[in-house]
Structure 1
Amino acid sequence: MRAPIGNFEHARPAPDCLDELTAPVADAVRAWSADVPAEQLIYVDTDPEIADTAAFVEHYGGELLEQSANCVIVAGKRGGETTLAACLVMSHTRVDVNGAVRRQLGVRKASFAAMDVATGESRMEYGGITPIGLPAGWPLLVDSAVVDAEWVLIGSGRRRGKLIVPGKAFAGLPGAVAVEGLGV
């Protein structure tokens, strides 16, 4: 199979390679019930040694910079309560934590979650956190540009490997809310 974007040697439907994914991501693919069939989630094998964006794009295809999205975990605080949420924005933008995220979560303060919190709570590796398989109940804020993209390259839950997913699939994930201007 050929990946719909990028120059990847190995591409397979995610349901055919569950052993390459972290447990929460594999479980989410197994239980997939969105409008987009699970076979359209494409797993591509990548070298974790070139996970840095510049090296990754140079190796796997320059167009990927415009077709990749980052999933970051944020912590919102209000009245002593902390809410964890995930934000998915195109890689060439940054998450508007102090504006769009604060408003959407209804919190006084929002910041990026500490790495140990993000990886421990998501059960995914740093540099590979993905919106597929996040803990139940977490809000998932998705920039509308991600939903509008034909194909989006995201993490697979590990530093090795990525998923290529139709953008419209993100709107159907549990807890997903499309947010205009989340990525600035």
Structure 2
Amino acid sequence: MATPEGTLTWEPADRHPDLLAAPVAAALAQVPGAQVAPIDPTLADTAAFCEAYDSDPAHSANCVVVAGKRGGEVRRAAVLVLATDRADINGVVRRHLDVRKISFAPMDEAVELTGMEYGGITPVGLPADWPVLVDEGVVAAGRVVIGSGIRASKLLIAAADLAGLPTAETVALALPR
């Protein structure tokens, strides 16, 4: 049976800043129990990662950056949902941000604003004014694997620590299966 850890060897993230994007390394105090493991960057996408490293997709969470406008103001947020689920971006997230229209942030914009690699964006170390919407399924999962800010590693973290990030809110985001 697959576990969140899979076949990887995990070590305390604060001992390996070389395996983290700079904003993630700077924010590790917010998630003191985070662990990191190096991976093949060509296997960073969730499905490939879970298969290659025997990591349970029910304990793998994806982070996407969304943006919408209201009155000329751009409102951005990070959305974290389990790999086994899809977030209700056009319903719950759009209403939560109080915007008329919402979309995934363009790749180059997400990379520039976060200081992280596309495919490695994570809620740890995001801009301080961005809400981090954490699906309640992520919190219920216990420990989860998330991005590290780069494609060459992953973080293993207690989902409660993600829900405890300064701008995090736990919300029912997943679409019904």
State the TM-score bracket (shorter-chain normalisation): over 0.9
Structure 1: 5+ residue stretches without partners: none
AA in 2 matched with 1:129: I
- 2-side partners of 1:20 and 1:5: how far apart? 17
Alignment-derived partner of residue 51 in structure 2: 58
* Identical-residue share of aligned pairs (%): 52
- 1-side partners of 2:146 and 2:88: how far apart? 19
1:66-122 alpha-carbon deviations (Å, 9 max, x no partner): 110000000011122111110000011122111010111111111111001111101
1:10-63 alpha-carbon deviations (Å, 9 max, x no partner): 31111111122111000001xx146xxx1x2110111112223333222111x5
TM-score, length of structure 2 as denominator length: 0.92
State the SS of the aligned residue for 2:127: coil
- 2-side partners of 1:71 and 1:118: how far apart? 11
Alignment-derived partner of residue 27 in structure 2: 28
State the SS of the aligned residue for 2:113: helix
- 1-side partners of 2:84 and 2:98: how far apart? 26
- 2-side partners of 1:52 and 1:134: how far apart? 20
Instruction: Check 1:103–1:152 CA distance in 2 against 1; reply closer, same or farther (3 A cut).
Output: same
Alignment of 1:1-184 (within 5 A): 5-8=5-8, 10-29=9-28, 32-33=29-30, 38=32, 40-61=33-54, 63-180=55-172, 182-184=173-175
RMSD over aligned Cα atoms: 1.5
Paired residues in the alignment total 173
Structure 2: 5+ residue stretches without partners: none
